Amino acid sequence: MNKSLFIIISLFSVFFACKTIEEKSSPMDTSLYNEPFRPQFHFSPEANWMNDPNGMVYLDGEYHLFYQYYPDSTVWGPMHWGHAISTDLVHWENLPIAIYPDKNGWIFSGSAVIDHNNTSGLGSDQNPAMIAIFTYHEPVGEKEGRNDFQTQGIAYSLDKGRSWTVYEKNPVLKNPGIKDFRDPKVMWHEDKEGNGRWIMSLAVLDKIDFYSTPNLLEWTFESDFNPEWAAYGGVWECPDLFSLTAADGTKKWILFVSINPGGPQGGSATQYFVGNFDGKTFTTESTETLWLDYGADNYAGVTWSNVPESDGRTLFIGWMSNWQYGQIVPTHPWRSAMTIPRKLELVKINDEYLVASRPVKEIEKLRKESKTVSGSSFELENELVELELSPNQSDFKINISNDKGEKLIVEKSSQELKIDRTQSGKIDFSPEFPAVHTAPLNGIRVEKVRLFIDRSSIEIFINDGELIMTDLVFPTSPYSKIKLEGFSENNSLHYLSGIW
């Protein structure tokens, strides 16, 4: 689709954005969720294009998942915010589009918060506003070659995200003249004296800028971050700043930065930094690039805000794809899914504090049958599988195959973990797709392998999420056989139910 048509669509959408959207949620069309390659226990939109998760926020028993969405095609186009909710992070209900393009531009990535103290004045003490902070991408300015076509805007909801009003004085943060100026992730931060304000992490070409505000409406630049040794293979995107506390009581601040291209497998990936944040400046203790996930297909993920202290978890979800081939994967009428939701934890490995990612406990709700499997090979009775395996040798191999001879190999040799998807099924849609992906174990002793197989993905968690690999696969018939080498005789097999 050419840019002129994009602009027409954008201008036409102004009508929809200039009023509050008050559609009611529609029931899930379950007939859409049984196509070839359709994920069964991962979130995917009913139809059309989806990429980055946006605006994840918890409120009154509901986890909100917004996402980059183009409702008119299965490839990227003028961005909207799609919307879904869940009460358990596993089963999802699709809601109408939340935020449409308007006169300021298309709606790129961002975040959402609950303004409990009504700092913005857009809600009340009795009914705090849910506020979305997002990037406007103005396509006319981009076409004209300007460098100020991305700005930050807000919208607010007073009915738990069901309808949205665009702030009439947008943008709230104008562009100082930088082409890439986007993806605001906002958090509430309090100093040691209990004084609080909002902090925005913003991706600015090849660095992260931090801004502050007392009210979400007027922003002040604080500092930037871009250590010379970090990964700079592509533009920096989708930052997230939050703190984690390890089991020994040590607290660290974590900064996520997604990068495209330049990931460890080529294309898209998320690097992270461990350090400290004083309310103005982030400083890192890291001295080398750390990757959240060593697979090819976990990108642009960020954390939920407003998770209750009684829960205490830091919850994450990512876009399960890669910009190398995300627009041409063989799926229809939708494209893209999200990863399994994950709990992030700070762990100490070899005297270094690192981020571990673990499947949320709610995923166990999907176990419909559990059994112990003995021996080195067995057949699968269900295409939706969770395996818990215990290695009894330093090296091991998992061969996952179907009756068509398609196979997916997971292998540990020496200090590397590998996923070989070169014969995994349909691979001819992109030269970058058939590949052997490797991850360094960096001294991690593998004591447990937890593996999730959906219709078009595999997610591997080593130990308790100390190392993760997420890859897409497209077998033309379900994987039905498992062959193990280097594992104990008895392992746990869980057949999972779909979430639709």
Active site residues: 52
Strand partners, 452: 386, 459
Residues 386, 494: contact at Cβ < 8 Å? yes
Secondary structure of the chain as H, E, C letters: CCHHHHHHHHHHHHHHHCCCCCCCCCCCCHHHHHCCCCCCCCCCCCCEEEEEEEEEEEECCEEEEEEEEECCCCCCCCCEEEEEEECCCCCCEEEEEEECCECCEEEEEEEEEECCCCCCCCCCCCCCCEEEEEEEECHHHHHCCCCCCEEEEEEEECCCCCCCEECCCCCCECCCCCCCEEEEEEEEEECCCCCEEEEEEEEECCEEEEEEECCCCCCEEEEEECCCCCCCCCEEEEEEEEEEECCCCCEEEEEEEEEECCCCCCCCEEEEEEEEECCCCEEECCCCCEECCCCCCCEEEEECECCCCCCCCEEEEEECCCCCCCCCCCCCCEECCECCCEEEEEEEECCEEEEEEEECHHHHHHEEEEEEEECCEEECCCCCEEEEECECCCCEEEEEECCCCCEEEEEEECCEEEEECCCCCCCCCCCCCCCEEEEECCCCCCCCEEEEEECCEEEEEECCCCEEEEEECCCCCCCCEEEEECECCEEEEEEECCCC
Exposure pattern of 185-198 as b/e (b: 16+ CB <10 Å)?
bbbbbeeeeeeebb
Measured distance CA(456)–CA(38) in Å, rounded = 7
Residues 116, 190: contact at Cβ < 8 Å? no
Position 446, amino acid: V
